[in-house]
Amino acid sequence: MKLLLNALLDLLFPEFCCLCGSFLFLDHKVIACKKCWEREFREFKGEKCIKCGHPLSLLPGKGHLCKRCLEEKREFYFDKVSYYTLYEGLAEKAIVELKFSKLKPLAYQVGREISKSLKVFINENHIDTVVPVPVHRNTLKERGFNQSEEMLKGAGVHFENLLEKPIYREKQSSMSFKERRENVRGLFKLNGEVKGKRILIFDDVFTTGATVNEISRLLKEKGAEKVFVYTVAYTPLRSYK
Ligand SMILES: [Zn+2]
Ligand SMILES: [Zn+2]
């Protein structure tokens, strides 16, 4: 029945791949065809800075540290950060599109794509609980869903909504890490027990890392043993000194 309905939708509202232009047959609201997803949404396999996760080849420092972490002696509350891919190309297109055009099926699609890699990370790090970064209820009302939750559903990964974002504060993309760190301070609330647990914070994009760092601070303060971060995409610095 669903197949028939989708076939009918195809005829009435044809959709095309945003990259190669081919007809998206029975594949709604996922913006690209299967071949383009396979070819363009690839896992980043390069070495990552052990502190901030930055691709080392783009910002070489010393050993397993990037130049910035080395020079600024940066410290974060999370113990390890990883991600599926870099925030560019199809990954960037998909994440922007699913948020602004409110495409839930696209969030599932992203989840399906990262599923294997995310599950490996969860097993390797003996994660007890996965928590998606929450959105404020105004955003939820406007968008209709929390993209991180839908991605986890698509990935088939069990999660717990232990976090809440009761305060709404505008995100400023021009802010530095320090400004963002002040801006996100106290924005989140924890509803649940994390004492002695290994927690994984899941989000769509790692930009300055201020949000996940603030959540990590809260989790550690409440007794979490280790805090890990996994995002779909990572934004490398455009320039550094
Ligand atoms: Zn295509
Ligand atoms: Zn680094």
Q: For 156-197, how does the pLDDT look when each residue is reduced to its tens digit (9 = 90+)?
A: 999 999 999 998 887 767 788 888 888 889 999 999 999 999
Q: How far apart are CA 23 and CA 98, in angstroms?
A: 20
Residue 37 has pLDDT above 90, yes or no: yes
In angstroms, what is the span from residue 67 Cα to ligand 2's centroid?
7
Query: According to the per-residue pLDDT averaged within each range, which of 23-27, 140-144, 148-152 is highest?
Result: 148-152
> pLDDT confidence of 9, banded at 50, 70, 90?
confident
In angstroms, what is the span from residue 20 Cα to ligand 1's centroid?
4
Q: Which long-range contacts (CB under 8 A, 24 or more apart) does 180-188 make?
A: 180/208, 180/210, 180/211, 181/208, 181/210, 181/213, 181/214, 183/210, 184/210, 184/211, 184/214, 185/214, 187/214, 188/134, 188/163, 188/164, 188/214, 188/215, 188/218
The residue behind tokens 């991180």 is 148
pLDDT value at residue 125? 98
Q: How far apart are CA 116 and CA 198, in angstroms?
A: 20
pLDDT value at residue 66? 97
**Per-residue buried b or exposed e for 110-130, using 16+ beta carbons within 10 Å of the residue's own CB:** bbbbbbebbeebbeebebbbb
Residue 1 has pLDDT above 80, yes or no: no
CB-proximal residues (5 Å) to ion ligand 2: 49, 51-52, 54, 66, 69
**Full-model pTM:** 0.93
Classified as helix, coil or strand, 16 is strand
In angstroms, what is the span from residue 35 Cα to ligand 1's centroid?
6
pLDDT value at residue 26? 75
Residue 10 has pLDDT above 90, yes or no: no
Which ligand lies nearest to the CA atom of residue 59 in the structure?
2
Which ligand lies nearest to the CA atom of residue 21 in the structure?
1
CB-proximal residues (5 Å) to ion ligand 1: 17, 19-20, 33, 36
In angstroms, what is the span from residue 95 Cα to ligand 1's centroid?
17
In angstroms, what is the span from residue 156 Cα to ligand 1's centroid?
25
- Structural domains for the chain: 1-40 (no CATH), 77-234 (3.40.50)
pLDDT value at residue 198? 98
Which ligand lies nearest to the CA atom of residue 23 in the structure?
1
pLDDT in tens, 196-222: 999 999 999 999 999 999 999 999 999
> pLDDT confidence of 58, banded at 50, 70, 90?
very high
Q: How far apart are CA 16 and CA 188, in angstroms?
A: 39
Which ligand lies nearest to the CA atom of residue 30 in the structure?
1
In angstroms, what is the span from residue 134 Cα to ligand 2's centroid?
25
pLDDT value at residue 238? 83
pLDDT value at residue 21? 92
Token couple for 168: 């709404």
Which ligand lies nearest to the CA atom of residue 52 in the structure?
2
Which ligand lies nearest to the CA atom of residue 32 in the structure?
1
The arithmetic mean of pLDDT across residues 123-152, rounded, is: 96
In angstroms, what is the span from residue 212 Cα to ligand 1's centroid?
33
The arithmetic mean of pLDDT across residues 124-148, rounded, is: 95
Which ligand lies nearest to the CA atom of residue 33 in the structure?
1
In angstroms, what is the span from residue 54 Cα to ligand 2's centroid?
5
Which ligand lies nearest to the CA atom of residue 22 in the structure?
1
| Least confident among 93-97, 125-129, 156-160, 165-169 | 165-169
pLDDT value at residue 27? 77
Residue 57 has pLDDT above 90, yes or no: yes
